[in-house]
Amino acid sequence: MNEFIDVEGASGARHRFRLMRDLSALPATAGAFVFVRREAGCTKVVACGSANSLIEVGKLWLRAAEQHQADALYVYLSVARRMRTEVHQDIAEKHLPALVTVELDP
């Protein structure tokens, strides 16, 4: 699994996300996230969202892994709510993931 992935949004912009190998290492910082599944050599976005604290994303991981076969979690750090919301919406519009979560709050 790559340490970083660039996820293209509906706007054509590419957003760089970092792999989180350990849920206990999720930062308390705000940001956006994607859960992905590798399929035939491609990376498919199966879930995306944003959160005031990315620690909260760990709660969704089990559901995404079980129900949508997600095999990796990537994060995009952004304390600016507007920026993370735009990134999230751009990706959700392009990839139409099965699970979409908007602004998780602790």
Contact 3, 24 (CB under 8 A): no
How does pLDDT run across 18-35, given as a tens digit for each residue? 999 999 999 999 999 999
The whole-number pLDDT of residue 106 equals 64
Give the residue ranges of the chain where pLDDT is below 70: 106
Q: Domains in the chain, start-ordered, CATH in brackets?
A: 4-104 (3.40.1440.10)
CA distance 71 to 55: 18
The whole-number pLDDT of residue 41 equals 85
The whole-number pLDDT of residue 59 equals 87
The whole-number pLDDT of residue 19 equals 97
In this prediction the pTM is 0.94
